[in-house]
Structure 1
Amino acid sequence: MGNYIKLQLENILTEGQTIAPEYCDKKYVIYYNPKETRLKVRINTDYYQNDNVMMLCKSYDRGLCDAIEEYEKLNLKYIESQAYGSWMDGAR
């Protein structure tokens, strides 16, 4: 399980799926990880739920911003581009 980040569901801010055709209908979660030193609000495209814990693959993970207040100001186009980028990072 060393390749996974284990988070409580309460840290998940949203779960979604890209809608722009160029981003290939990728499912994603956006979460807050207080253990990060920077970019604590993150996006991940390879995850699963195990009871009340979310397991997130580290290879499919990207930082979005440092604070929840910053995240609330991000536009959907940026979020979707980062979701797709996260998926592409993991596919390497």
Structure 2
Amino acid sequence: MGKIIKLQPRDPFTSGHGKPDERASDADSIEQATQRLIETVAQLIQTLETSHRRIRVLIDSIPDPEASARLARDHAMLSAALRDAKEKAISIGLAETDDEKS
């Protein structure tokens, strides 16, 4: 259904009180970690959106109208939560939607 992204633990950052070269290296490490985080959040949002669309298709295929309506209401709550998460990620610069890339 969805893509599972495995996050590997990283070595903890060293203190910023070292030599200037070490501090520059720490800043580069932080920048690289930030870039990886941005890419991971974007991938996670894409995975959630894909799963969300698939769930909607499955709900629409349920022959029982009451069950389908109940699940559709739950799906609407998930839609709102996903929209809020995307807005929050975008507001802090962690992800772009497909609309923004165009």
TM-score range (shorter-chain normalised) is under 0.3
Of Structure 1 and Structure 2, which has the larger fraction of its residues in strand? 1
| Structure number with larger C-alpha Rg | 2
TM-score between the two structures when normalised by the length of structure 1: 0.24
TM-score between the two structures when normalised by the length of structure 2: 0.23
